[in-house]
Amino acid sequence: MSAPFGERLDDAVASRGALCVGIDPHAALLEKWGLPDGPDGLARFTDAVVDALAGSVAVLKPQLAFYERHGSRGLAVLEEGVARARAAGALVLLDAKRGDIGSTMDAYADYLRPGHPLAVDAMTVSPFLGPGSLQPAVDTARAHGGGLFVLARTSNPDAGTLQHALVGERSVAQVVVDTVRGWNTPGWGVGDPLPDVADRAGRPTGSFGVVVGATLPHLDVDLDGLGGPVLAPGLGAQGGSVADLRRLFGSGRAVLPTVSRDVLSAGPDAAGLRAAAERWTTELGARPWR
């Protein structure tokens, strides 16, 4: 069992800065890079990104769908890329957005088991079947030092259709946040007083986080006492900025901003990819982690 994901994330951010770079090899980007839309082009793309960034960026976030679309050869490319990225010191967050129940969820959570061919540090999951449906993944993460990021308050235009729906007096998004807060605080129950933020001083970041978009018009969920990281997608090409991070999250939270197109568009040149990632890391450096 390795150190918990939250502790490893703290260490990675301390040494490399709080930046997550998405690896999204969609067909249009492969074409822009002058690569064929097939397993060979996918492999060349993945190798270039990993070689350029895995030694300096805290977290790399490959999108599973862009590898699955190429079948077994695409997954083989991802397996090799993930292993190489982790060997170079980057944490790998698999953007899978899996969500199911029982043995099926347990099988999805196998990505967090060290012996899995596609073993990763953390993965994204969906709570649509109910937060309790994710318990097998929580158990696997705790057993093997893995992490989870649960979709909570995303910023796609129609997200509020479901995420603003009420469960009693709380929104669905707030129920998700409260559930994850409980995972990071053993013994805490919904309705109990929030954990005192001061009590968390000096503690490592928890291993269970939520996804909250960086392009929201305002923050409409209460993240106080979450104890874990906030994955904030949307910087750069999607319209989000460092100012939006400050506006939404203030300071003193473990916020992991994620950038994809603004970095990947600088490829395939390795120096260009590194320079783009370094620019974001420098700009984000003014934000304190936790």
Low-confidence residues of the chain: pLDDT under 70: 1, 186-202, 286
Sequence spans of domains, the chain: 5-217+229-284
Architecture of domain 5-217+229-284 in this structure = Alpha-Beta Barrel (3.20)
pLDDT digits 0-9 by tens, 198-254: 445 567 899 999 999 999 999 999 999 999 999 999 998 888 899 999 999 988 889
Return phi, psi of residue 150, to 5°. Answer: -100, 130
Nearest Cα neighbor of 160 from 225, 218, 99 is 218
**Predicted TM-score (pTM) of this structure:** 0.94
> Can you give the pLDDT at residue 201?
54
Residues assigned a catalytic role: 97
